[in-house]
Amino acid sequence: MLEKDFIPKPYTNLVENGSFIWSSPSNIALVKYWGKKAQQIPENPSISFTLDNCKTTTKLSFTKRESDNNFSFEVFLDDEKKDDFKPKIETFFRRIEVYLPFLKDYHFKIETSNTFPHSSGIASSASGMSALALCLMSIEKELISSYGTSNTMEESHFIQKASFLARLGSGSACRSLEGDLVVWGKHDDIKGSSDLFGIKYPYEVHANFKNYQDTILLVDKGEKQVSSTIGHNLMHGHPFAQERFKQANNNLTDLVDILKDGDLNKFVALVESEALTLHAMMMTSMPYFILMKPNTLEIINKIWGYRKRSGSKVCFTLDAGANVHVLYPENEATKVLEFIKNELVAYCQNGQYICDIIGLGANKL
């Protein structure tokens, strides 16, 4: 698929109004996306677990209007008007207009809510942008079906284009559409992988990874210290960039075997190394940042101590912030949760944490 394949033929008939509701999850990367080229093309392929509890639900209502040169929309979070969300959505609309030429023909009301606390430091851009992309695709599907019965949209095209659009809103959002493990970015060993959209991981996954658990420890619920866009840009001219991109490719190659064999020791080593490398990239960029907090390190050390004394396969991963994702297999759920409550919750802001599990992707409501 090429970018031009996502440009639809002209719509013959614009529906007057309507609304769609989609719920879409967040995801947590195992091999991280960090660094991008123009048009939201990643410097390296990445893979993530789709989460099940951390979701955004978006209702998109649309009313036909006299089209002009502007986009017309309003945004609400939990019924409250959010004008500060508008610039990001305006940029998104501008990037996708060529692929959804109806955007200026409607006024949109975007009503959104998250299942996780808004200021939790959990990125809502992946779930938010994917939910919005799906709502927009539902409109396109309706416009295309109004051509006549021979013009129904294939389900696979619907999801693929939704992922393609979501990527243009936020890179990691293209990994939040469909599948429990999702790959984004061209990789020679992964059939069908593309820089343009995420795909369901196409190979065998060992039962050890079934219902994998992710407990998100909220260490710092403040606003992100560095926006991901700024963070990605720091990889331009970064002294270690090329090696890092090579390493991500190699890690994905290794992960294919790990996922097949169910080797949790190798999984732990690869996932933790990826997390620390992401932070190492930020510490060694110019300007440089430390996004971990003292409690992030306390938690990491506690996890290492627990693993050593218990033989557990629990491990951590990090986003571009201080919160810690604690990952562990389902058969350890009771014990690890006990450990988390006894030893880790004390390092969370207001003792807050979120229990999650691998999920299957977005849902139409």
| Site of interaction with ligand DP6 (CB under 6 A) | 29, 32-34, 40, 46, 123, 125, 170-172, 228-229, 232, 278, 319-320
Closest distance of CB 184 from ligand DP6, Å:
8
User: Which residue, 133 or 143, has its beta carbon nearer to ligand DP6?
Assistant: 133
User: Which residue, 6 or 33, has its beta carbon nearer to ligand DP6?
Assistant: 33
User: Which residue, 40 or 312, has its beta carbon nearer to ligand DP6?
Assistant: 40
User: Which residue, 21 or 276, has its beta carbon nearer to ligand DP6?
Assistant: 276
User: Which residue, 24 or 40, has its beta carbon nearer to ligand DP6?
Assistant: 40
Q: Which residue lies nearest ligand DP6, judged by its C-beta?
A: 171
Closest distance of CB 82 from ligand DP6, Å:
18
Closest distance of CB 46 from ligand DP6, Å:
5
Closest distance of CB 185 from ligand DP6, Å:
10
Closest distance of CB 20 from ligand DP6, Å:
23
User: Which residue, 12 or 229, has its beta carbon nearer to ligand DP6?
Assistant: 229
User: Which residue, 278 or 314, has its beta carbon nearer to ligand DP6?
Assistant: 278
Closest distance of CB 172 from ligand DP6, Å:
3
**In which residue are the tokens 């809103």 written?**
169
Closest distance of CB 199 from ligand DP6, Å:
15
